[in-house]
């Protein structure tokens, strides 16, 4: 019994990111936020501290999905919803990846993002990776982040000559070399040692958060197992080589430049520079006043930002020159100068969102290829017309899309046929009034709502039976009926009290727990899949020049899922606005 109890304690410590024998840090009480922030910064410095000497790395990281992990409104809505449904049995499972420092400090999982300590607000922050010196396997977000002030050593992939040079010339660079030295005007504190580590160079560093299995045995993240079966793994290409590459998604040599800028002086000028934007297909949908994370903390609180109506363009000349005298602003935004300052911040942040969108499109186009259309015979007026496109996954590392976030990422083909009069007469891949594709989860399809889109205007939106979608689906077996698609892999019981229960049969036997499975529709690395379509002959009413227009559409969240987790209307609107279109082109052909 004692041995079993010890094992439980060791496992719990590991899940909290602590080592046996290490004292668990204790935060000051919630009613003393300044003391809490000071304590946390002393144990786990904020990325803003690192950004003083690493401005390039900070700028890249600040717009990344890693920096977005904790502030993401979708994550916070989803995390709360799944805990509500599972009656708390999920606990801090999600938070320990999305707010790594907060979990290590023992913060409650359900506190507001802005009540977290500074480094915890930063999601996957600098110390999440650069203070990890021990290798971990598939441990669902469990890792030990070494506590300590800014002087604590860090781990990196490259040589340590830059730090040694700076510290050996401490007076020149104005560095305080000991935590015991008092503060001195113009001087800064830095980590006293940089340890070259093989751990941070390996793909295994990423496993802890990118191969995730929930309590019931169902996998939410399968990126690691896809990578392990991929050509990239066989060739020795790591996650870092593609996702920290200067050319998104391709394992090309890193750029070179200064490792750091210390008090205006560069250090180790020709060191390889990995891109800390960690480019992937995701994008932010938060309030643009809150993200990207600024190097200098905003003087406006998160609560203030959430009341700033950036869609109305508060603070812009266009708005302020025409605003009515009786316009009702919230108390926080009565001052026109504050609104103008805030609008400047919002514009700068949205410009960075656009820059990230450009890189995201480049990543998607580097990772896939669309060919076609290929006709099955010669198109004839009044006859059924069949054709196909071929989509190839050029990515050597994982599926298209990757097995990330379970059934959330969407990737589908939108193909439309335009007749000689310029009228769209047929389409597959269309969306309903909410923005969802017309599959089994579409509100408009299920409720037979009237579509406002051509060619279905004035008619109930039909189910898109030819839809070519690569979105994974959770398939559950419920008390009544057969298998069906579900938003989440939660076993529903007839007592109306759903819990996440352990599977009754070992998942290792079935490769999934009983009553639930993930059904993938993604394309394996370097594989090709055909999207086959047939246009009814009654739509080809006349001979002439027709056009087929195609585009590959990508979105991180289905709107039906956002509604399921009680997302706000603005979140849903932003999700639709930032959906990505790639491989857009049209082909003209003759119908005889």
| Confidence (pLDDT) at 40 | 73
In a domain, 550, yes or no: yes
- According to DSSP, the β-strands at 368-375 and 516-519 are unpaired
| Confidence (pLDDT) at 10 | 36
The verdict on 115 and 253 lying in the same domain is yes
| Average pLDDT of span 276-290 | 93
The verdict on 264 and 309 lying in the same domain is no
Q: What is the DSSP letter of 279?
A: -
Which percentage of the chain shows pLDDT scores above 90?
58
Q: What is the pLDDT of residues 222-263, one digit of tens each?
A: 888 899 999 999 999 999 999 999 998 889 999 999 999 999
Q: What is the pLDDT of residues 456-473, one digit of tens each?
A: 677 888 999 999 999 988
| Confidence (pLDDT) at 15 | 39
| Confidence (pLDDT) at 378 | 92
The verdict on 336 and 383 lying in the same domain is no
Task: Tell me the C-alpha distance between 589 and 498, whole Å.
Answer: 55
In a domain, 499, yes or no: no
Is a pLDDT exceeding 50 seen at residue 1?
Answer: no
Is a pLDDT exceeding 50 seen at residue 13?
Answer: no
The verdict on 236 and 260 lying in the same domain is yes
Task: Tell me the C-alpha distance between 305 and 288, whole Å.
Answer: 9
In a domain, 295, yes or no: no
The answer to whether 450 and 458 have CB atoms below 8 angstroms apart is yes
In a domain, 225, yes or no: yes
| Confidence (pLDDT) at 69 | 95
Domain count, the chain: 3
Is a pLDDT exceeding 80 seen at residue 175?
Answer: yes
The verdict on 325 and 434 lying in the same domain is no
Task: Tell me the C-alpha distance between 132 and 209, whole Å.
Answer: 14
Q: What is the pLDDT of residues 177-211, one digit of tens each?
A: 877 888 888 898 888 888 999 999 999 899 888 88
Q: What is the pLDDT of residues 33-75, one digit of tens each?
A: 667 667 777 899 999 999 999 999 999 999 999 999 999 999 9
The verdict on 227 and 193 lying in the same domain is yes
Q: What is the DSSP string of 353-393?
A: HHHHHHHHHHHHHHSEEEEEEEESS---TTS-EEEEEEEEE
| Confidence (pLDDT) at 504 | 58
The verdict on 553 and 438 lying in the same domain is yes
Q: What is the pLDDT of residues 526-569, one digit of tens each?
A: 999 999 999 999 999 999 999 999 999 999 999 999 999 999 99
Backbone φ and ψ of 113, nearest 5°: -55, -40
Confidence of residue 448 (pLDDT cuts 50, 70, 90): confident
In a domain, 486, yes or no: no
Q: Which of 256, 273, 290 is the last residue of a domain?
A: 273
The verdict on 353 and 385 lying in the same domain is no
> Domain holding 426: CATH number?
2.60.40.10
Q: What is the pLDDT of residues 395-430, one digit of tens each?
A: 999 999 987 776 688 999 999 999 999 999 999 999
| Number of Cβ atoms within 10 Å of the Cβ of 334 | 10
Q: What is the DSSP letter of 113?
A: G
* Helix (H), strand (E) at residue 24: none
| Confidence (pLDDT) at 507 | 57
How far, CA to CA in Å, does 517 sit from each of 103, 411, 488? 29, 20, 10
In a domain, 456, yes or no: yes
Burial 177-187 (b: 16+ CB within 10 A, else e): beeeeeeeeeb
Looking at the DSSP assignment, which residues form a beta bridge with residue 411?
A: 554
| Confidence (pLDDT) at 90 | 80
The verdict on 61 and 190 lying in the same domain is yes
Q: Which of 316, 331, 358 is the last residue of a domain?
A: 358
In a domain, 122, yes or no: yes
Helix/strand/coil for 589: strand
| Confidence (pLDDT) at 19 | 44
Of 523 and 218, the structure prediction assigns the larger pLDDT to 523
Q: What is the pLDDT of residues 84-141, one digit of tens each?
A: 887 777 888 889 899 999 988 888 888 999 999 889 999 999 999 999 988 876 677 7
| Confidence (pLDDT) at 511 | 57
27-31, 153-157, 236-240, 417-421: segment of lowest average pLDDT: 27-31
Q: What is the DSSP letter of 25?
A: P
Residues, the chain, total?
592
Q: What pTM did the predictor assign?
A: 0.88
CA proximity to 386, closest of 365, 372, 367: 372
CA proximity to 276, closest of 157, 377, 378: 157
In a domain, 289, yes or no: no
Q: Which of 314, 339, 358 is the last residue of a domain?
A: 358
69-83, 328-342, 374-388, 509-523: segment of lowest average pLDDT: 509-523
Peptide bond into 455 cis (omega under 30): yes
The verdict on 93 and 237 lying in the same domain is yes
* Helix (H), strand (E) at residue 394: none
Give every CB contact of residue 236 below 8 A, 6+ residues apart in sequence: none
Give every CB contact of residue 352 below 8 A, 6+ residues apart in sequence: 63, 292
Task: Tell me the C-alpha distance between 249 and 389, whole Å.
Answer: 23
| Confidence (pLDDT) at 216 | 62
The verdict on 412 and 319 lying in the same domain is no
Is a pLDDT exceeding 90 seen at residue 517?
Answer: no
CA proximity to 65, closest of 124, 112, 145: 124
135: containing domain: 2-273
The verdict on 433 and 576 lying in the same domain is yes
| Average pLDDT of span 374-381 | 94
């Amino acid at each position: 019994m004692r041995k079993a109890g010890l094992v439980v304690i060791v496992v719990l410590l590991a899940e909290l990111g602590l080592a046996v024998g290490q004292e668990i840090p204790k935060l000051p009480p919630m009613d003393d936020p300044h003391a809490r922030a000071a304590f946390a910064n002393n144990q786990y410095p904020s990325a803003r501290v690192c950004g003083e000497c690493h401005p390039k790395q900070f700028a890249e990281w600040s717009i990344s999905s890693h920096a977005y992990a904790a502030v993401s409104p979708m994550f916070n809505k989803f995390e709360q919803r799944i805990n509500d449904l599972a009656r708390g049995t999920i606990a801090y499972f999600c938070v320990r990846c999305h707010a790594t420092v907060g979990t290590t400090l023992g913060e409650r999982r359900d506190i507001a993002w802005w009540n977290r300590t500074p480094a915890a607000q930063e999601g996957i922050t600098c110390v999440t990776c650069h203070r990890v010196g021990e290798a971990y396997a598939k441990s669902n977000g469990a890792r030990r982040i070494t506590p300590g002030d800014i002087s604590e050593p860090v781990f990196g992939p490259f040589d340590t000559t830059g730090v040694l040079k700076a510290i050996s010339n401490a007076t020149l660079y104005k560095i305080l070399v000991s935590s015991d030295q008092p503060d001195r005007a113009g001087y800064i504190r830095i980590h006293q040692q940089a340890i070259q580590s093989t751990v941070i160079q390996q793909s295994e560093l990423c496993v802890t958060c990118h191969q995730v299995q929930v309590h019931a045995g169902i996998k939410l993240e399968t990126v690691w197992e896809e990578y392990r079966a991929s050509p990239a793994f066989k060739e020795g290409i790591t996650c870092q080589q593609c996702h920290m590459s200067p050319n998104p998604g391709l394992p090309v040599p890193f750029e070179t430049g200064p490792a750091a800028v210390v008090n205006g002086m560069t250090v180790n000028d020709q060191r390889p520079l990995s891109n800390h934007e960690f480019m992937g297909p995701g994008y932010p949908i938060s309030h643009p006043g809150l993200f990207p994370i600024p190097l200098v903390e905003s003087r406006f609180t998160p609560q203030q930002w959430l009341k700033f109506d950036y869609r109305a363009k508060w603070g812009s000349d266009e708005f302020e020159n025409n605003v009515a005298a009786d316009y009702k602003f919230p108390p926080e935004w009565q001052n026109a100068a504050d609104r103008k300052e805030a609008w400047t911040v919002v514009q700068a942040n949205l410009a960075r969102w656009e820059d990230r969108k450009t890189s995201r499109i480049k990543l998607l186009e580097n990772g896939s290829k669309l060919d076609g259309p290929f006709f099955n015979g010669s198109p004839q007026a009044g006859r059924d017309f069949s054709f196909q496109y071929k989509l190839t996954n050029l990515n050597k590392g994982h599926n298209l899309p990757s097995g990330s976030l379970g059934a959330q990422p969407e990737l589908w083909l939108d193909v439309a046929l335009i007749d000689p009069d310029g009228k769209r007469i047929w389409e597959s891949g269309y969306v309903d009034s909410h923005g969802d594709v017309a599959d089994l989860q579409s509100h408009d399809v299920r409720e037979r709502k009237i579509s406002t889109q051509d060619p279905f205007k004035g008619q109930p939106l039909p189910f898109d039976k030819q839809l070519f979608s690569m979105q994974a689906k959770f398939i559950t077996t419920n008390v009544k009926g057969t298998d069906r698609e579900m938003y989440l892999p939660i076993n529903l019981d007839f007592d109306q009290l759903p819990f996440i229960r352990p599977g009754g049969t070992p998942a290792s036997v079935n490769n999934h727990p009983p009553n639930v499975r993930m059904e993938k529709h993604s394309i394996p690395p370097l594989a090709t899949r055909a999207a086959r379509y047939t246009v009814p002959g009654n739509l080809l009413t006349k001979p002439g020049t027709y056009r087929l227009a195609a585009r590959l559409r990508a979105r991180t969240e289905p709107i039906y899922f956002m509604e399921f987790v009680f997302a706000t209307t603005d979140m849903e609107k932003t999700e639709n606005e930032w959906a990505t279109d790639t491989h857009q082109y049209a082909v003209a052909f003759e119908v005889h």
